[in-house]
Structures are given as C-alpha cells and as structure tokens.
Amino acid sequence: MSVSIGQTPLIRVVSHSLHINAITVTSPHSISKRFPFIFSLHRSTTATPPPNLRAVRRRSSSSSSASTMSYDRQLAAAKKAASLASRLCQKVQKALLQSDVQSKSDKSPVTVADYGSQALVSLVLGKELPSFPFSLVAEEDSEDLRKEESRETLHRITELVNETLASDGTIDISPLSEEDVLKAIDNGKSEGGPHGQHWVLDPIDGTKGFVRGDQYAIALGLLDEGKVVLGVLACPNLPMASDEKKGCLFYAQIDAGTYVQSLDGSPPTKVHVSTIENPEEASFFESYEAAHSLHELSSSIAKKLGVKAPPVRIDSQAKYGALSRGDGAIYLRFPHKGYREKIWDHAAGYMVVAEAGGVVTDAGGNPLDFSKGRYLDLDTGIIVTNKKLMPALLKAVQDSIHERSSSL
C-alpha cells in the first residue's frame, strides 16, 4: 500500500509496520495524529525575524571573560557550512540509492560523504571566520584515508568537495588538493574541554539512516567555556511541512530562540517544543536502530506515563529537530551497557531543543556536561521533553530503570 502527497509517495507499508521516510511505528492507527510533521503544518509557525540582528546577547553565566557576547558571525558561518555539507551528502545519498544492491552493502559511499562533509565544514568555518581562533572536535580523522587502499576514495572525496565549493561560488578557495582535504579533516582532532571556544561536529549523524535512504543530520555546535552556545542541525530528508519538500535547517543561539528554515533558503520561522502537559497525549521519539537504544525500556516508561501512541522511530539528531518544533513531546535514548556518548552526537541537538523551551538531561535528571572532552559523562541515558512533562517523565524513567535492574 502507498499513500502519496503530491507526487511523492510518503508511506509504504513494510511488513506489519508503517514506514514513512524513516519513521516507523508499530500499528497503522491515526496516522495524521501521530505524524503532525508530515501531515500538517507544525504548531509554531509565527514568522519572526532571524536573530542575527541582535547586537548584544548574554553569554553563558559561568563564563569568566566578557559578560555579553553575540555569536551571530559564528552562526552565519555554521549555517553556511552545514548547508554546503548537506548538499554534498544529498548528492552522495542520491547516487547510493540509485546504485545496485551490491554497492549498497559496500561502506564506501557513506565514508565518502562522512569525510567530505567534515572537510567542507572545517574549510568553510576556517574561511568564513579567519580572525577567530579555530578548534574543532569532530568524529572523523584521516588515518584510514591515508592508506594506499583508500586512494580512489580520497580522490572521489576531493572531487566532491571541490565541486560543492564551486557550486556555491561565494567561497574563494582555489581547487583543493588531496593533501588539503586530509588536513581539513584532521583539523577536527581537538579535544574540546572547559576553556575557550570549540566547534563540535558530527559530519553525518545517523549513518545507518543515511545508507537506508532515511533520516540523517549534519550536526554542528559551538562550545564556549564548556557550554554549548550555538547549534545548527541540517536534516536533508526531514520535511518542512506536509505540502513542502524535504530539507530542514534548524538553528539556535543561546538566549535567542530556535528557528527552522528550508535548506534551500525559505525565511526562518521560530519554533517551540510541544506544550502538552498530559503524558497520555504525548508521543515519543526513539532510535530506529534497536542496537542504539533499548526499545523495551522506552516502552516500559511510556506505559507508566500512560502514553497511548506507539513510538516514532527515526535516525539521528533529526529527533531533536522534530521535537524542537513540537512534532513529538518526548525523546528517550538508552544505549546498551558500555556505550559512551560523544559530544558531537548531542551538542547541536541539545541547543536546538533547549532554545525552543525544552529540557535535556541524563536519566538521573542531571544536565549534560559538554566540558569534559570528546565524551559525555552520563548516568545511563538521555531524556528530552518540555518543562511541564519532565518531572513525571523523570520519575517514570527512574522507576523503570530500577525495575529493570532488579529483574536482571
């Protein structure tokens, strides 16, 4: 069965589940209610001027240096970098989806997009902000790419980066060599930490979704004195609204709210998290991949809260973006034992949700601490919702975790 809006088939039933551009639920019930982000305009659509006219903005209160500061220039550069990276990723994903089955199981297309995206973001930030100190904490490094067997891949990445820069036309970088690309990737080796400013990048978050043709994100944040002060999330496959094409750019700056615009440049719209207070009316997001998050734990929490709707499963930090505009009210993430969360998997998403009025904590109710280097030190998992629902959610989370550990 398939359901179409305009020319684009949005739904196809795959075995016993609905599959909506990477969004899977367990039963075909009340689709429009469960997927407001696909089927109706999301709630917070008041046109508001972008925040980049604000000259002065309060800086994070713990900062010991200047007490006020604007991150407008960094935000403009971050939006440009993430948009260009998403152009590169879209090109690769399109080619990947058109390729035959054999090359789909080959890991190289996603590798090309991962490295290409990281190189582009690193280059664009450096070029757009020449007078700023540059430190980047990013997921990838060039070690494997420097090996003899990666020659072809490196060649392809360099070609793609050059093509993408040329297609933009506003960044004056003469064609880059393979060595330039390797260096740009390795600029992401910073360790971050509590002092100074550090960019935080996941060049493709949700690689599994990327390969499936589903959701993924380019996630770029900025830390200042250990706190996230800016976040940009490019989600090339997330629809803006029911009648619009795919491609959302979410962005947020500390004390300045969260905005979304289409990746091809529509005017920005201010967004806000869901205002639902009754958990029975809430719907929740979790990972598509059961290997990334314990689905049975989320399900027990949802049951305790009285949540009626089945989980909305999507890949990547697109979950944070969708939640920031009220598409769902709760995001639950419980990695398997031993998994350590990285800062680039949450910095941008955290900012987008926090500035849209949401709350992000670990399963113990503690705020996330991005100042400890490349990893987040967490109590068990990450939970996200609005301020009204958080106390009940936290209680349900702690009760469920307690029950689970007593039964193991």
Binding residues for Mg(2+): 139, 202, 204-205, 345
Separation CA 385–CA 324 (nearest Å): 9
Q: For CA atoms 10, 273, 343, 158, give the dihedral sign.
A: positive
Q: Which of 292, 322, 349, 397 binds ligand A2P (CB under 6 A)?
A: 292
355 is a site residue for Mg ion (CB under 5 A): no
186 is a catalytic site residue: no
CA 164 from centroid of its chain's CA atoms? 21
Considering the complex, what minimum distance in angstroms separates the CB of residue 345 from ligand A2P?
4
Q: Which of 86, 331, 104 is nearest to 215 (CA)?
A: 86
Site pattern 147..176 for ligand A2P (x: CB under 6 A): ------------------------------
CB 390 within 8 A of CB 363: no
345 is a site residue for Mg ion (CB under 5 A): yes
Considering the complex, what minimum distance in angstroms separates the CB of residue 203 from Mg ion?
6
Q: Which of 164, 207, 258, 269 is catalytic?
A: 207
290 is a site residue for ligand A2P (CB under 6 A): no
Binding partner of 261, given ligand A2P, Mg ion, none, CB within 5-8 angstroms per partner class: none
Give the strands of the sheet with 17-20, arranged side by side: 2-5, 8-14, 17-20, 23-25, 312-313, 284-286, 330-333, 382-386, 358-362
Separation CA 140–CA 185 (nearest Å): 7
205 is a site residue for Mg ion (CB under 5 A): yes
48 is a catalytic site residue: no
124, two tokens: 């664009």
Q: At what angle are helices 108-128 and 72-98 packed, to 10 degrees?
A: 160
Nearer to ligand A2P, 71 or 370 (CB): 370
Binding partner of 315, given ligand A2P, Mg ion, none, CB within 5-8 angstroms per partner class: ligand A2P
Q: Which of 202, 225, 327, 355 binds Mg ion (CB under 5 A)?
A: 202
Site pattern 196..215 for ligand A2P (x: CB under 6 A): ------x--xxx-x------
Nearer to ligand A2P, 97 or 291 (CB): 291
CB 309 within 8 A of CB 34: yes
Q: Which of 36, 116, 226, 335 binds ligand A2P (CB under 6 A)?
A: 335
Separation CA 178–CA 146 (nearest Å): 10
Separation CA 340–CA 364 (nearest Å): 16
Instruction: Summarize as ranges the residues that interact with ligand A2P (CB under 6 A).
Output: 202, 205-207, 209, 287, 289, 291-293, 315-316, 335, 339, 345
Report, as residue numbers or ranges, the catalytic residues: 114, 207
